[in-house]
Amino acid sequence: MPQDRQVTIITVANRAGVSKTTASDALRGSGRVSEETRRLVTDVAAELGYVPNGSARHLRRARTGTIGLHLPEVLPRSDYYMSFVFGAVQAAADHGYDVTLLTSGSGAGATAERRPRVDGLVLGDPLAADPVVEKLMSSQLPTVTCERYPGPGDPDGIVWSDHGAALRELLDHLAAVGTLRPALIVPGDESDWAASVHRTYRQWCTERGVVPLTRAVPFDANADATSTVARNLLTDEPGLDALIAAPTSAAATLLPVIREAGRRVGDDLLLASCVDGPAMRFADPAITAIDVQPREAGAACAELLFELLAGAVAPGVERLHPIELNIRESTRRRNAP
């Protein structure tokens, strides 16, 4: 039964007939009190339904017990970001931390220059142009980014995946089944992910003596915009025999466009994506894609941040997060158009 007054550590101490200090030590298991009193105090605390006051604890310890998480507000890849968030929150919970969400939205609250009340930051896919990211990067707080930050300044930790290597594997696979002219639809270079995909593609083309064929789309391009780009690409370049649509939503929603253009996916036109997701797995035909393991990436970022906060690793760490290519029907074999 809940008391009307808030039950504090003093309530517990009084009820147990010990001092505040002893109660505190007993509850935290600091090994300073006798097993007997410890048991007594914890029992009383449980009975009273005592819950420690986070603000007081963190005021004393000069820490907040919270990390901030910032993500670009991009709906077209939301299953990626959702997974990322849940991964980060899970890892944080395992370490007794809370996660506060920080957005790039600039409401009334943003005017008051409240520095986020957090011990550290995780920035997922930081975009070069994002002013909020820029502000957070210069906040002096320990920061981990997922993928490199293309703007000024360096985070204390980076969790990154070798999208270049995975794309190269994909391109080699496409070449192996007979592709001669693979095209790439990719967001602009404001994100490091897109930039490295773009760069690797150009390098690969140069190495192979293939004429590169790319189209840029906005980072948050919806399916409609991407479809238009693809439609034009198919019209302009009839010699095209493979299409890599980097964003996850893109490839799946391109199927109708491709069909409309009279091409057959997995037959006279191969199709692949740089970001796997449910839509890829269950498309018809299933689409070859790179599984970037977003939930694990989110968790890895949080873990790295905690190690930085604990001083277990020195600032400047980079950690490689494994990803893998999933080959599916859409690129199994190629027939001439």
Partner DNA sequence: TTGAAAGCGCTAACAC
Partner DNA sequence: GTGTTAGCGCTTTCAA
Question: Where on the chain is the footprint of DNA (CB under 7 A)?
Answer: 6, 8-10, 17-22, 24-25, 27-28, 30, 32-34, 36-37, 50, 52-53, 56-57, 59-62
Nearest CB to a second copy, comparing residues 179 and 273: 273
Q: Are 165 and 173 in contact (CB under 8 A)?
A: no
Complex with DNA: residue 28 or 208, whichever CB lies closer? 28
Nearer to a second copy, 196 or 293 (CB): 293
Kindly tell me which of 3 and 235 has the beta carbon lying closer to DNA: 3
Partner whose footprint covers residue 19, from a second copy, DNA, none (CB < 5 to 8 Å by kind): DNA
User: Minimal distance in Å, beta carbon 208 to a second copy?
Assistant: 33
Residue closer to DNA (CB basis): 19 or 103: 19
Please enumerate, as own/partner, the contacts of 15-22 that have beta carbons within 8 Å and a separation of 24 or more: 15/44, 15/48, 16/40, 16/41, 16/44
Bond into 294 cis (ω within 30)? no
- If contact means CB under 5 to 8 A according to the sort of partner, which of DNA, a second copy, none does residue 39 touch? none
Q: Which two tokens stand for residue 198?
A: 């773009």
**Which residue ranges make up the site for a second copy (CB under 8 A)?**
2, 6, 51-56, 58-59, 62, 64-66, 69, 73, 75-76, 78-79, 81-83, 85-86, 89-103, 105, 107-110, 112-117, 140, 222-224, 227, 249, 253, 255-256, 259-260, 278-279, 281-284
The least distance separating a second copy from the CB of residue 105, rounded to whole angstroms, comes to 4
Q: Which listed option, a second copy, DNA, none, makes contact with residue 278 (CB within 5 to 8 Å by class)?
A: a second copy
Q: Give the nearest distance from C-beta 206 to a second copy in angstroms.
A: 34
Tell me how far, at minimum, the Cβ of 205 lies from a second copy, in Å: 30
Q: What is the DSSP string of 101-147?
A: EE-S---HHHHS-PPPS-SEEEEES--TT-HHHHHHHTS-S-EEEES
Residue 82, judged by CB atoms within 10 A of its CB (0-12, 13-18, 19+), counts as middle
Closer of 95 and 181 to a second copy (Cβ): 95
Amino acid at 84: F
Cα angle: 127, vertex 154, 306; to 5 degrees: 95
Q: For a second copy, give the closer residue by CB, 195 or 254.
A: 254
**From DNA, a second copy, none, which one binds at residue 145 (CB under 5 to 8 Å depending on kind)?**
none
DSSP 276-298: --HHHHTSSSPPEEEE--HHHHH
Q: Which amino acid belongs to residue 226? A: T
Which class for 86: exposed (0-12), middle (13-18), buried (19 or more C-beta within 10 A)? Answer: middle
Burial of 3 (0-12, 13-18, 19+ CB in 10 A): exposed
**What does 172 bind: DNA, a second copy, none (CB cut-off 5 to 8 Å by kind)?**
none
Tell me, what DSSP letter sits at residue 178?
T
**Least distance in angstroms from the C-beta of 175 to a second copy:** 28
Q: How far is the CB of 73 from a second copy (least distance, A)?
A: 5
